[in-house]
Chains A and B, each alone.
Chain A
């Protein structure tokens, strides 16, 4: 699974079905609009508990400032997988490294010494194992601050994600992620999408160190007038 991969589609806009729609940024014309997309959620919709659904709506109302992506915060798992940026898998002898172009995020998947997360983090703590040819990663130790997409879909710090990566031929990875979070959802739910190998010769990850793009949003009110 070594190589550079990227998802195609609009999951990062919204995991569920969405028609094309405008944002508040009419100055960007059609560039500032949201494309349509089909749900990547098995069963179609995310099974929120009532209070958590209200929180999702509040997240949407505050968008984009409420979205951690706008603030260049690390996106967590699974969102890092389907951001509109490539990522690279580096299979070491002991552990597997995932390097995401967005915001210099990355995570190490512990393949041998499985231990509990020592502390909560944005990208979680990943323990991985092989089931035949499928890489199964259990991620725990999330904080509550990442979202699943730009549509306000969220979770608590009780989230556990189990990912499954299976090669389909040389250039496609079938990706599944199951979310379990009894504080937020009435049952576990799953997303599924293919990931595609970036085939350009000499393709490499570039930098998207987005802190400088988020500073006006975060600190603009504190600049000297």
Chain B
């Protein structure tokens, strides 16, 4: 099963694709939910004359299966010592070689002796994105600092790290929501892992539906301006409402369950996601993360999505042998420590 670490530690071989420049800071415009959306760069529409096709009822047509595979290997945050948002030429070749090497070195030993599977399992090996981080705002490509309150909460957390952490492994609740096959979470599900990086978009009048291959979750999001559900109704994927801003689909999500934890943010997390078709074969995705209880300011990450292939059913929970294996291994390890005289 894919692990979140891959997002941070992946390598790509030489090559150059699109470069998305980061604009200078400007006052943030507000989304209709009242949440500011940080500007993240020149609109590609300025560089091309692409005209977004329409559905029969006149909405921009984003239908299709879209993959984040091409951005695999780009670190979530820009490494220190790297000043540019994107590189090219020989600098790019060097960067991609470094990433590939690092990924190949790390894979065999992730999680101790178990490792993370042979590299030929990875669907997104050898990708060529020239970006140096998926975070695009702040301009340094790094997530802003946590608030003092959030720091305290992080320190108070016992365990964590899921199946690749140090335990305890006493019960299913000691594992991550991902290990337990409950959810891949938002916005994590959009970011590339070693496989299942496909998102299907289906549109009908008044709705847009997103199906995420990783754990087959689907959100059917109304476009009719109805209010959010009351905060008493919470979910692992929260509650979402969408609207169009020109050709851009804007999805606002709130009411996350307090059992979720996105980089320290739980029930107070709010997301503003934007999807815009930039060509026959590409979508631009941006997510702005808001949580004044957790992050010192909102921040934005972005992905260039390309054409994907039809989704396979990912029967994560149905096939979750790992959970039984991990729990029984932990119980066996405990038993092995019992002195022989007591057995």
Contacts and interface: CB of A to CB of B under 8 A. Distances in A.
Interface of A: 2, 72-74, 88, 90-95, 97, 99, 103-106, 108, 118-119, 121-123, 145, 202, 204-207, 209, 211-212, 214-215, 218-219, 222-224
A224 B222 contact: no
Contacts of A123: 313
A126 B49 CA distance: 38
A121 B180 contact: no
B55 to A, nearest CB: 6
A223 B172 CA distance: 8
B192 to A, nearest CB: 21
Residue picked from B202, B220, B313, B334, most chain A C-beta under 10 Å? B313
Contact of B216 (A2, A73, A106, A204): A106
B181 interface: yes
Interface of B: 55-56, 61, 63, 168, 170-173, 180-183, 200, 202-205, 207, 209, 211, 215-218, 220, 222, 226-227, 229, 233, 235-237, 310-313, 315, 317-318, 323-324, 327-328, 330-331, 334
Contact of B180 (A122, A202, A215): A215
B182 A118 contact: no
A104 B209 contact: no
B220 A90 contact: yes
A90 B227 CA distance: 21
A11 B330 CA distance: 42
Nearest to A107: B313
A94 B317 contact: no
Contacts of A211: 180-182, 317
B170 A224 contact: yes
Nearest to B327: A222
Contacts of A214: 317
Nearest to B316: A211
12 contacts: A2-B205, A74-B216, A74-B315, A90-B207, A103-B317, A104-B218, A108-B311, A122-B313, A202-B226, A202-B227, A212-B172, A223-B327
